[in-house]
A and B are shown apart, each in its own frame.
Chain A
Amino acid sequence: MKYLYYPGCSLRSTGRAYEESLLSVLKVLDIPFEELNDWNCCGATSYVSIDETDAFALAARNLALAELQSPDGTINLIAPCSACFLVLLKTERYLESYPDVREKINSTLDKAGLHYHGRVNVRHPLDVFVNDYGLENITKRVKYPLKGLKVASYYGCQMVRPFKTFDHSHYPETMDRLVNALGAEPVDWPLKTRCCGGSLTGTIQEAGLRLNRLLLKEAEKRGADIMLTCCPLCQHNLECYQERINRKFDEKIDMPIAFFTQLMGVALGLSEKELGMQRLFKMPSLNQITHPKGEMVNAW
């Protein structure tokens, strides 16, 4: 089964490390994929604040292009960014549930020579790795088990809500199971899906910083060595504003924030460069993590 891959705008700028690590992991696991030709922005939360029909049409163009690119059967479209994942999924679901919306959008698409038939299945890479590829298969491929590393998995909001595709809306566990399969230790913490504020750090920073502070403090309190995210905006917020949070609230938070694909890559034995590690502000220190034979892992 070949996957189509929808990068989204953030994976080409602030979230470049996510794209690099995701593609490297897909390659090393021999999961076949192909980038969606001439994809456009999903519209995120902003486009729909201006014009809803256009927002659906914008997202539906990607779905229609996916159908053009793979003419038969169900298409699995991988969208790694949580916002893209949700917007594409929501468009797909709303087109299915509301015939009037479907008709309106398809008549718009028809004018540009496109049509959406409903063959696309929007998938998050986490779902693909855990439920398609399988945890046992991942465990088999692990070169450096991340023994002793305590990981707080942060799922963010839009990957699990409002649609329940592969996990619980408030207490998901897929990433924790993956972390476990890599040999690390998932930390039990209650703020897994609490919102990071999204673009609030750029608009009303006071509110944005407080939301992120809460997440960071809780992860720290639960003894996490590293926080994993699956969304470029969550990663950006939690990582880039840490310094400002420390200054403003007189904290001493020092939490590395990585994409889950990066940690996967480390366990699978990929190099720092392949995983875009140099793009992070803080490299997680994995000095204590030992190889099964007792030697130090110097994967970073």
Chain B
Amino acid sequence: MRLPTPTTVHSEEEPHKIEKMKRVIRRIKFESELDLNFGERVADRAYGQKLLSCIQCGTCSATCPLAHYMDYTPRKIIAMTREGFKEEVLNSLTIWLCASCYSCYVQCPRQIHITDVMYTLKREAIQMGFHPKRLPIPILAQEFYKRVLKDGRNTESWLLVSLYLRTNPFIMLREAILGLKLFLRGRLTIGREHVKRRDQLHTILEHKKGEAPL
């Protein structure tokens, strides 16, 4: 029996090993792997170049009520956006956990519109299909969008059912009692609310077909 020569082993295994080593060892990105203009493009979308003047003071992270659930604090997200870590930023949970409370927006000493930055990143992540699969928040946003685009108004009960169907239908069991309590108090409607002049609404909304990707 002829053993494979060392050279063949080398050529077969090396790319795989290198890939593995990359994942395990290297934590720093080479400049060639970054998207260097990413920060500028995000800043353009989020009202002005202020994002680039961030002094990394961390006021945003300190004032954020959700910072301790985030994988990167808002300060880090801004630093990473500015430096071009596009994939990491768009894959992060941070942008989705932002509940738009505008606490950082009003506290920022550089007047960076951080909430608008987060919205810009959310839009980009959805458009590029970057968000973590089955994470309910982007799915809620998409379902809300569909509902309002169609009817002009949102019906909360329908929105929640479509959210649970797309994420985890078993949650409906968990929420059934609460739903029933709300229904008995007349706080959940079954009929779908809609505007009268849907044609007018659709002329306004279907005019745009989304932004160009960043």
Q: Which residues on A are within 8 Å of B, measured CB to CB?
A: 9-10, 12-17, 38-41, 43-54, 57-58, 61, 86, 98, 108-109, 111-114, 157-158, 161-162, 169-170, 193-195, 197-200, 202-204, 207, 211, 240, 278-281
Query: Closest residue of chain A to B142, judged by CB?
Result: A50
Nearest CB on B from A116, distance (A): 11
Closest to A112 in B: B203
Answer yes or no: B4 CB below 8 A from chain A CBs: no
CA distance A17 to B185 in the complex (A): 10
Q: Which residue of A lies closest to B95 (CB)?
A: A49
Q: Please, how many angstroms separate the alpha-carbon atoms of A55 and B201 in the complex?
A: 12
Contact partners of A9 in chain B: CB under 8 A: 153-156, 193
Name which of B140, B145, B181, B197 has the most chain A CB atoms within 10 A of its CB.
B145
**CB-defined contacts of B148 to chain A, threshold 8 Å:** 40-41, 43, 47, 58
Residues of B within 8 A of A54 (CB): 204-205, 208
- Which B residues are in CB contact (< 8 Å) with A199? 99, 137, 140
A and B contact pairs by CB, cutoff 8 A, 16 listed? A9-B154, A14-B156, A16-B186, A40-B148, A48-B119, A49-B119, A49-B122, A50-B142, A54-B205, A57-B204, A108-B207, A111-B204, A162-B106, A169-B106, A202-B136, A240-B178
Kindly provide the distance from the CB of B62 to the nearest chain A CB, expressed in whole angstroms: 13
Interface residues in B, total, Cβ within 8 A: 57
Whole-angstrom distance from the CB of B109 to the nearest CB of chain A? 14
* Residue numbers in B under 8 Å from A50 (CB-CB): 123, 126, 141-142, 145, 210
Complex contact B101–A38 (CB within 8 A): no
Q: Which residue of A lies closest to B137 (CB)?
A: A203
CA gap between A98 and B66 in the complex, in Å: 30
B residues within 8 A CB of A195?
A: 65-66, 99, 101, 103
Contacts of B208 in A (CB 8 A): 51, 53-54, 57, 108
With both chains docked as a complex, state the minimum distance between the C-beta of B47 and any C-beta of chain A, in angstroms.
7
Are the CB atoms of B141 and A46 closer together than 8 Å? yes
In the bound complex, residues from chain B placing their C-beta under 8 Å from that of A113 are: 200
Q: Does B78 contact A (CB under 8 A)?
A: no
B126 near A279 (CB under 8 angstroms)? Answer: no
14 more CB-based (< 8 A) A-B contacts, given A13-B188, A170-B106, A203-B163: A12-B193, A14-B187, A14-B188, A16-B186, A40-B195, A50-B145, A51-B208, A111-B203, A112-B201, A112-B203, A157-B99, A162-B106, A193-B103, A211-B65
**Interface presence of B37 (CB below 8 A):** no
B144 to chain A, nearest CB (A): 4
In whole Å, how far is B73's beta carbon from the nearest beta carbon of chain A? 15
The 10 tightest CB contacts between A and B, nearest first, are A195-B101, A157-B101, A46-B144, A161-B102, A203-B136, A40-B152, A112-B203, A162-B102, A49-B141, A46-B141
Taking a contact as CB atoms under 8 Å apart, the answer to whether B203 and A158 are in contact is no
User: Measured between alpha carbons, how far is A170 from B142 in the docked complex, in Å?
Assistant: 31
Q: Does B92 contact A (CB under 8 A)?
A: no
| Closest Cβ–Cβ distance, residue B57 to chain A (whole Å) | 17
Measured CB to CB, the closest approach of chain B to A204, in angstroms, equals 7
Listed in ascending order, the chain B residues whose CB lies under 8 Å from chain A are 45, 47, 65-66, 69, 97, 99-103, 105-106, 115, 119-120, 122-123, 126, 136-138, 140-142, 144-145, 148, 152-157, 160, 163, 178, 181-182, 185-189, 193, 195-197, 200-201, 203-205, 207-208, 210-211
Q: Are B155 and A47 in contact (CB under 8 A)?
A: no
Give CA–CA (A16, B102) in the complex, Å: 26
Residues of A within 8 A of B200 (CB): 61, 112-114
Contact A41 B119 (CB under 8 A): no
List A contacts of B142 (CB < 8 A): 50
Which residues of B have CB within 8 Å of A194?
A: 65, 101
Asked whether, in the complex, the Cβ of B188 is within 8 Å of the Cβ of A207, the reply is no
CB nearest neighbor in B for A83: B100
Of chain B, the residue at the smallest CB distance from A278 is: B185
How far apart are the CA atoms of A155 and B156 in the complex, in Å?
22
Residues of A within 8 A of B102 (CB): 86, 157-158, 161-162
CB distance from B108 to the nearest CB of A (A): 10
CB < 8 Å: which of B105, B138, B186, B203 contacts A49?
B138
| Least CB distance, A280 to chain B, in whole angstroms | 8
Residues on the B chain within 8 Å of A109, using CB? 204
Interface centre among A17, A40, A111, A207 (most CB of B within 10 A): A40
Are the C-beta atoms of B201 and A40 separated by less than 8 Å?
A: yes
**A161 lies within 8 A of B103 (CB):** yes
CB closest chain-B residue, reference A241:
B178
Contact of A41 among B122, B152, B204 (CB under 8 A): B152
CB-CB nearest in chain B for A108: B207
Alpha-carbon distance between A17 and B141 when the two chains are bound, in angstroms: 26
Q: CA of A9 to CA of B193 in the docked complex: distance in angstroms?
A: 8
- Which of B100, B136, B182 has most A Cβ within 10 Å? B100
